[in-house]
Structure 1
């Protein structure tokens, strides 16, 4: 029996191994999306079934489920003789979304870690490559109807054999992607992160002994499952229902529904997606691994005390997704899978459980990664480029405080690359980059503000593509709070403004010097009745430019003069009457 101190030290040591892999990956990578935005993750996975042992604290939460699923599929394919068996020093590369992935741009490496000639565990990481080929630069094809249009799809193959890169496989990859000369920097960074993991994990095992660490891993998994069941016991039986909407699939301009019923069944918590929309024509399908991982990460948001371990998710059961757009199979396109649909799944979980757990669950966050890709030729440098921009948005208000302004996406902790880096590496100028005033949903605790930026092409010709969401429906408010402002994209070409047909999804838009793309990301949903917001807090919002005086009266029923702020009875009566009428015809019916 391990003593608690040793168990805690080993748990921290395993996470430290992953943290150092994350740090190595970001520091060595060439692409700003990895080096600056940290769109990557590293982890340790069980040799028998690929179950998650540890993941870095700085890794993307959405990869918690997908990487363990992907590692398990790799182990199964090796056992079945489909994939070549490993040897020391081998590293597999895979980005096939149907084999435990997300979209094609998330490229995974997996390396067996040996002790005494046997595989002790697997080390794996995922990094977002700025391009993997396909119809448009950056891979975010908003109107793709098959996965082949989205880029190069790789089954698990050995990119490194006994520590040496297979040049033939690497040449095949480079022959199918844009700006291929830059990929070697990301490839070597990804491999270097795994090498650092090997060194640090070996040192941990040498210090405490293989048997002790193995026993600690098993005990941590058991305790994680027990802890999750204790949290589940605090949730009323249900069912707790919700609906979240995806604007469109990029091809058919109609919303897609995610219908969810959450029920406590004994020690388990069942998430039933029966009734969700069928598979769609465009790229907003989600593969099963991403759907499962989205539920897991939503539960981690609600119960942040949970350890990052496969055991924590054993009591979580997902059903009803078969035959819907939440269980994509070849050849369905999936570029919006992890970046957008996953966040709508998490939003459905929040909306379903906010009444049951009002002190833990927030109103909906912005819920889009703001995927914007620009590809072209820079005549000044004489080279091609692919620029990938992600962006933040407002967090939802909660029982304790207002939502965070310009926070990272629900699925990760990636930050937007600094505009100074983007302007240095690409022929663009950011005309402005600021908070989107007034975008947070009104509430007792209002939603956080989104982001407002505009990018201008300075030279050469380029093509712009974006796959975003929440342009038709803003992030949902909770417990009487108002929805946050929806996403908004405006393209200015030759002096004329255009709004895409699918609002925040479009591809292959030709840009000339001076043309611009403006993105206004969503604000978070409001929490609680806006009429109960502290008038002093409303006055502070107005003072800081978050709302105008007129908006303060219209949203919160508060009048501001030179005297202390006070509730306006007439505005309050009007707002309550409007809300009563609106309840008979809700926006998201």
Structure 2
């Protein structure tokens, strides 16, 4: 059935709008600031037979595009007893998930008595139990130490909540009164999606919408293949490195051999490091999704659905730390390992089409968890905080300053909100001067912040990266500054043994944590930078005159 272009565009935007409205409901009704303020969540529509993504909300984290697809597929494979009104809850990383804190819900959507699709969403819960508040246990050596692992079970059965499941979950996590609010927010988002999708199908007809979805998938694949065909054939190699796994203080290598052949790209990660002891193993779903999101960064105007991923052929690198198997710990898989996978893809593409690429971004979420008791409010709390960093310079201009992690479109939670929720104060929150990688087009700047505990006691844990080496430059550009982490306890400052990772830091009133995030890599030789831009950066306080003379001697020779 041929669909006229206007109807096709209206249905495309209608599907996207449904998922975006689900995002908005999820955001506005969640109790956790990391969801309501930082947007660490996503909602989407998935195919009833294949589980493939049909549409995702514009305000959802991109890394969940592939991940929720794989989660939905796992539910389809394992649950053959679904009925109208059922909702499945799952966070098992080995079943198409990420880390335990990303809790998924999958709801079969029925239209006129027939299964039509699945509505799925993800929300980052600040805690799911485990050995440290927040779940980022950098010393974990097995999944059980990271928190509660939930297989695909029914949270709702025929529209009625299964209280036994809710009780089991809330009994095993910290601050349960906050988690029940997040549970209801996810359920509410699915309910709104069900209502809006019914209205769309009533208006245009199920057959017409079905045909439109097929056409949109084919066009997305066609557009992606056209872009890939413009990349020179060949094999391009690049390696990125993780500081350590939190247990063994040695880097982990992500080695990518990327082969472009016609209108397809083949990704081989089999030379990467073997499985590690600590929580920096990557699950297969997150590894695949990282490749998808990296390519979407490079070709951003290809519409999101399963068609745009069809030309991307990813060989499963069994035997490496990028395919975690039970009981390997995986807390850092989505926020850190996935970003190193993306960095490897960016680097390989930088070899293939440097004139159309960008230098590496900060590439770390800067995961900082703080859990404790607030005597002033007489309650326990858990704060999960992530921060931005610099993006790489690119062929046209300088990189973005304080951009979000490359796996998401999240934003840092407002410090005013955090100071209202938790017994702490931000003594500094500023642009990190001098952190950009020098180049013809310099990288963006990271940030520097300091948090001081005001009352009570708290336990801090950190899972960050790029502490050994900064984000690499491109075309002769200089790497951005490395991540820096300092903890002050009772007047004594220290740096974690693993530089960017650590746990078990007990904080008392007056103790503080200082974090300086990486800047983006530079693009092109620094010698080629416009002297006027160098002078502007000095005048704005981005770099000092001495730093300018070091990196841009031609531009400062007259001074």
TM-score normalized by structure 2?
0.99
Q: Once the two structures are superposed, what CA deviation does each residue of 1:260-311 show, in whole Å capped at 9, x if it has no partner? A: 1111234321011121000000000000000000000000000001111001
- State the secondary structure of the residue aligned to 1:376: strand
Q: In the aligned structure 2, how far is the partner of 1:291 from the partner of 1:552?
A: 39
Q: Runs of 4+ in structure 1 displaced over 6 angstroms? A: none
1:166-565 alignment runs, 5 A limit:
166-319=162-315, 321-558=317-554, 560=556
RMSD: 1.0
User: How far apart in 2 are the matches of 1:308 and 1:290?
Assistant: 17
Match of 2:107 among 101, 105, 111: 111
Determine if contact 1:535/1:567 at 8 Å carries over to the other structure: no
Work out whether 1:88 is the aligned partner of 2:89: no
Structure 1, residues 459-505: CA drift from partner, whole Å, max 9, x if none?
Answer: 01110001000001100101100000000000011111100000010
Task: State whether residues 303 and 360 of structure 1, in contact with CA within 8 Å, keep that contact through their aligned partners in structure 2.
Answer: no
Query: Alpha-carbon deviation of 1:182?
Result: 1.2
CA shift, 1:559, in A, is 5.3
C-alpha distance in 1 between matches for 2:300 and 2:212: 21
Conserved 8 A contact 2:316-2:323: no
Question: 1:438 touches 1:449 (CA, 8 Å); kept in 2?
Answer: yes
Which stretch shows the higher mean deviation, 529-538 or 351-360? 351-360
Q: Distance in 2 between matches of 1:334 and 1:202?
A: 38
The 1:567–1:524 alpha-carbon spacing in structure 2 relative to 1, beyond 3 Å, is farther
Distance 2:332 2:554 in 1: 41
Normalising to structure 1: TM-score of the pair? 0.94
Deviation at 1:359, TM superposition (A): 3.6
The alpha-carbon deviation at position 255 of structure 1 amounts to 0.2
The Cα of 1:388 is off from its aligned counterpart by 0.6
Distance in 1 between residues matched to 2:26 and 2:338, nearest whole Å = 24
Moved more, 320-329 or 462-471: 320-329
Aligned counterpart, 2:43: 42
| Deviation of the 1:556 alpha carbon | 1.2
| Cα shift at 1:128 | 0.2
Distance 2:159 2:472 in 1: 49
Name the count of aligned residue pairs: 558
| Alpha carbons 2:438, 2:477 under 8 Å: kept | yes
CA distance in structure 2 between the aligned counterparts of 1:330 and 1:361, rounded to whole angstroms: 37
* Aligned mates of 1:257, 1:188 — CA distance in 2: 40
8 A contact 2:236–2:259 mirrored in 1: yes
Per-residue deviation, 1:370? 0.6
Q: How far off its partner does 1:236 sit?
A: 1.1
Measure, in 2, the Cα distance between the counterparts of 1:78 and 1:185.
Answer: 26
Contact 1:538 1:558 in 2 (8 A): no
Q: Does 1:71 align with 2:72?
A: yes
Find the counterpart in structure 2 of residue 6 from structure 1.
Answer: 7
Indicate the SS of the match to 1:97: coil
The 5 Å alignment of 1:128-143 reads: 128-143=124-139
| Cα shift at 1:567 | 6.8
Kept in 1, the 8 Å contact 2:366–2:387? The answer is yes
Conservation of the 8 A alpha-carbon contact between 1:444 and 1:530:
yes
Taking structure 1 as reference, are residues 203 and 359 closer, same or farther at Cα in structure 2, changes over 3 Å only?
farther
Residues 369 and 389 of structure 1: CA distance in aligned 2, closer, same or farther (over 3 Å): same
Deviations 1:209-237 (A, max 9, x none): 00000000011111111111111101111
Q: Which moved more, 1:315-324 or 1:531-540?
A: 315-324
Q: Deviations over 1:368-396 (max 9, x none)?
A: 00100000110111110001111000001
8 Å Cα contact 2:100-2:149 kept in structure 1: yes
3-state DSSP of counterpart to 2:82: coil
Q: Distance in 2 between matches of 1:171 and 1:359?
A: 56
Cα deviation for residue 358 of structure 1 reads 2.3
2-side partners of 1:90 and 1:376: how far apart?
A: 36
Match of 2:23 in 1: 22
> Corresponding residue for 2:52?
51
Task: Give 3-state SS (helix, strand or coil) of 1:239's partner.
Answer: strand
Instruction: Identify the residue that residue 583 of structure 1 maps to in structure 2.
Output: none
For structure 2, which runs of at least 5 residues remain unmatched after alignment? none
Q: Deviations over 1:561-585 (max 9, x none)?
A: xxxxx579xxxxxxxxxxxxxxxxx
Distance 1:558 1:492 in 2: 41
Residue 160 of structure 2 is matched in structure 1 by: 164
- Are the structure 2 counterparts of residues 295 and 559 from structure 1 closer, same or farther at C-alpha, using a change threshold of 3 Å? closer
The Cα of 1:533 is off from its aligned counterpart by 0.4
Consecutive unaligned residues of structure 1, counting only runs of 5 or more, are: 80-84, 561-565, 569-589
Aligned mates of 2:65, 2:34 — CA distance in 1: 19
User: Partners in 2 of 1:526 and 1:211 — Cα distance?
Assistant: 51
Q: Is the 8 A contact 2:234 2:261 kept in 1?
A: no
